[in-house]
Amino acid sequence: MFTACSLSLAGHISPDATSVQRNPPAPESAEPKDIENDDIRRNTNPGMTVSSTNIREFPESGNRRLLELKLLHQYITKTSMTMLRTKEPFTTEVWTTLLPRLAFEHDALLYSMFSISALHLAKTESHESEAIDAYQKYLDLALREHFNDVTHLSKDNADAACLTSSIVRLNAFAVLQERPLDPYTPPTQWLETTCGAGKVFAAAWKWIKDDEDSIAMRLVRTEPILMAGDTLFGEPNRLGLLHLLRRSRDEDVTEPWLPDIQEAYESTVSLIGSYQMAIAARGNPEDIFRKLILFPILVPKRFIDLVEKQQPRALVVLGHYFSLVARVGHTWWWCGDTGRREVRGIQTVLSDKWLGLMSWSLRTMEESLVLA
């Protein structure tokens, strides 16, 4: 079993680590003076660090080559089958075949593939003592190369950058199940990292949107929630959760409440309502869970800010989200008991008047989910 300490993701990406690049950057495609692109580069993977010490202490050797063969075998035969499972044949082909093939041309994607394989080994094979160290080292390598790819984003590396971001956000979600929760603090690193992954897709859009051969574009098309637009955030979705938006006289005085804050809460509650409606309609649990883990990409950034400030209402809403994760995601190794742990953790930091709003979360979390 791995420990939260050994899997912690802290700090920021360092662009200063030396790098041996298989593909030299294409500065002509970069837009260094573009404010939006600069923002994307800064926020690609916040909360995750590149440890230059780890990288320097991981030289080429016979042992490293054997380890990489082992991790490649692990990914192809086991880990790829447990990624974002779906009944869509193309999605399965991406994770099992197309991604490993593309990884041989892009170091960031290759190292991220090794990192998630090592993490899978650490979680499922207790005797794999070297897996923890391998996970962190390959994550460090992946983030270093990923920073370079995002800085020099182009048509040639857009697919690889998007797929790398997808694996990085799965890594960030996977380590939630082992993070310390006493005292409880919200999982802001996961929120920011996943949000950063979404920004990479947004930055790559101009290169992939009209490319019929783009793997990333075809993946987006297989995920209707990414194309749903305003339907996700419509008022009808939140009708069963309006108690989360009601305010008392005391809260009128003490709780920050501006138009953008109200809109952030309303949009987020509507999104949670859309998840709940899919569950009530007995949707496919794999499809629902894939939608659930996109939560930080879809919610307004203002809501994430409110969670980071530990506003009680934001924590209650987050608890409702994690109660749905508990119902749907417990069968995935990279989710485990995360939903239940987060809900229980949130309970410990809420006052009595806010705990009353958690009753829906607790009831939903305890319901057994049997979907077709």
Handedness of CA 150, 156, 157, 163 (dihedral sign): positive
Give the DSSP letter string of 41-79: HHTSSTT----HHHHHT----HHHHHHHHHHHHHHHHTG
HSE, side-chain direction, 13 A CA sphere, residue 112: 29
**pLDDT band for position 286 (cuts 50, 70, 90):** confident
Pick from 262, 368, 279, 366: nearest CA to 317: 262
pLDDT of residue 166: 93
CA distance 334 to 338: 9
Contact 177, 326 (CB under 8 A): no
Calpha distance 228→216 (Å, rounded): 17
pLDDT surpassing 90 at residue 102: yes
- Say what the alpha-carbon torsion angle 301, 192, 233, 253 is, to the nearest 10 degrees: -50
State the DSSP string of 274-308.
HHHHHHHTT--HHHHHHHHTTHHHHS-HHHHHHHH
Tens-digit pLDDT profile for residues 76-97:
999 998 886 667 788 889 999 9
Rounded to an integer, what distance in angstroms lies between the CA atom of residue 158 and that of residue 218? 13
Tens of pLDDT, residue by residue over 237-269, are 999 899 999 998 777 788 999 999 999 999 999
Higher model confidence: residue 228 or residue 277?
277
- Residue 27 half-sphere exposure toward CB, CA atoms < 13 A: 2
Residue 369: Cβ-neighbour burial (10 angstroms; 0-12, 13-18, 19+): middle
E strand spans, 136-175: none
CB 186 within 8 Å of CB 193 = no
Q: Return the minimum-mean-pLDDT range out of 72-81, 99-108, 235-244.
A: 235-244
Going by pLDDT thresholds of 50, 70 and 90, the confidence category of residue 57 is: low
Cis, bond preceding 256 (omega within 30 deg of 0) = no
Contact 205, 73 (CB under 8 A): no
pTM: 0.83
- Mean pLDDT of the region 273-282: 90
Q: How far is CA 350 from the centre of its chain?
A: 25
The whole-angstrom separation of Cα 196 and Cα 194 is 5
Residue 234 pLDDT greater than 90, yes or no:
no
- Do residues 149 and 160 touch, judged by C-beta distance below 8 A? yes
* Alpha-carbon span 366 to 287, nearest angstrom: 21
